[in-house]
Each structure stands twice: as structure tokens, then as C-alpha cells.
Structure 1
């Protein structure tokens, strides 16, 4: 039996107009990517990508998304992502952050990426009191609500 190899692509959605929360669902992002793959690679490209394609994770607050595709078609997806300018009805771009073989490695990358972002943001705050309040707000942030 042959093992099916997947690739996981971590992307950040950057809207043209900054917003705190983007109201994107997995299906909207998947449809957008597949439509652009068909536009740039035709029916053959869509057929190669469509088989194992799925948006596994989409966080509307951090604007980070994990996309799963087959090993043989991940280059088609990653070459199409920078060409997308509209997601649903919002002007936005995809920035590819990481491509990994397992979703566990992608989760580790996201944790490290968010930690670097938090360190950068805390470094820009001048007073110690504001730093403590900022860290407290971030640590109390619950994604399930």
C-alpha cells in the first residue's frame, strides 16, 4: 500500500483595510483558492489540487490559516497564493509563512511566530505598567468565545 503524502501551508491573510476580525470561513478561503488555481492552471491544475485540498485551520483574529494539499500539487497552490487579491468580497493578500510535512510542525511554527510577534509588540510599549496590562490581556484571550 502506498502512503499519501500531504503538505501543510501556513499563510497569513493581510487585508488591505486593517480589521481586528475577519469573517472568513474555511469554505470561502478554499473556494477562492480553487477558483484562482483554475484561472491560472486550467482544469488540469484544478484536478491535481482538488483531490487532497482542504483548509484545516482558520483563525479570524490572528488571520493565520493552515491549508492541506497533496505533496504533488503543493507547488501549484503556493505559486497561486501570491496572485490572489480578493478573498470573498474583501481585498486581501496571502503571505506564505511556512510549508511543512506535518500539521504538528505547522502548529509549532505558529506558536513560535506568535511568540515573536508578542515579543516585538511588548518591546514597543514604553511603560512597565502598560506591558503588564498588555501581557495580561493576551494571556486571558480565549479563542473559544
Structure 2
């Protein structure tokens, strides 16, 4: 049996207006990406990416998603993502931040990326008391 190779694309969804949490479901993002691939590459492009395409992870609070697609079709998906301006009924865009061969490498990248974002946010806080309060709030954050 032949192993199918996949590529995992880590994207950050950036809404046009500032939102605390982006309430997106997997099927909304899937429908949006498939529609745009069909728009730019036609039935041929849609047929190529449909086999291995799936949204593996979507986090509303960090606005990060992982898209899985077949190895031979990931370039169709990656080249279409910058042209997407509407996701469902929200005006937003995709920013590709990493492409990996395994989902474990993508998870490692996301952890490192979020740590850098947190370090930047903590660095912008002037007083030590506010910085400690911010770190305490982040550590007590519970994912629902």
C-alpha cells in the first residue's frame, strides 16, 4: 500500500475589525477555501484538492487554523489563500505563517509563535505590577 503524503498549512485569520474571539467553525472555513479554489482554478483545481483537504484545527481566541491537504495539491491552496477576503459573513484575510509535513511540527511552531506574541505583549507593558497582573491573567486562562 502506498502512503499518502500530506502538507499542513498553519494560517492566521485576521479580521478587518478587532474582535476578541472569532466564532468560526471548520465547515465555514472549508466552504470558503473550496469556493475560492474553484473560483481561481476551476473544476480541475477543486478536484485535485478535494481528496485530502480538511481543517484539522481552528482556535477562535488565537485565530489560528491548520489546514491539511495532499502533498501534490498544497500549492493550489496556498496560492489561493491571499485572495480570500470574506470568511463566512466576516471580512477577514488568511495569512500563512508556516507550512509543514507533519502536524506535530505545526504544533511545535504554533507554541513557539504564541510564546513570541506573548513576549511582545508583555514587553510593551510599562510597570512591573501591570506586567505581573497580565501574566497571572494569561496563566489562569481556561479554554472552553
Determine if the alignment matches structure 1 residue 17 to structure 2 residue 14.
Answer: no
Partner of 1:90: 90
Unpaired runs of 5+ in structure 1? none
Partner of 1:33: 33
Q: Distance in 2 between matches of 1:100 and 1:115?
A: 19
Determine if the alignment matches structure 1 residue 53 to structure 2 residue 53.
Answer: yes
Matches within 5 A, 1:96-111: 96-111=96-111
Partner-residue secondary structure (3-state), 2:13:
strand
Q: Distance in 2 between matches of 1:43 and 1:135?
A: 49
CA positional deviation for 1:141: 0.8
Q: Distance in 1 between matches of 2:78 and 2:135?
A: 34
Quote the RMSD (CA, aligned, Å).
0.5
Query: TM-score when scaled to structure 1?
Result: 0.98
Give deviations 1:28-82, integer Å, cap 9, x for gaps. Answer: 0000000000000000000000110000000000000000000000000000000
Partner-residue secondary structure (3-state), 1:69:
strand
Determine if the alignment matches structure 1 residue 118 to structure 2 residue 96.
Answer: no
Partner of 2:133: 133
CA positional deviation for 1:2: 1.0
Name the count of aligned residue pairs: 144
Give deviations 1:66-103, integer Å, cap 9, x for gaps. Answer: 00000000000000000000000110000000000000
Q: Distance in 2 between matches of 1:56 and 1:133?
A: 33
Partner-residue secondary structure (3-state), 2:115:
helix
Deviating 4+ runs (over 3 angstroms): none
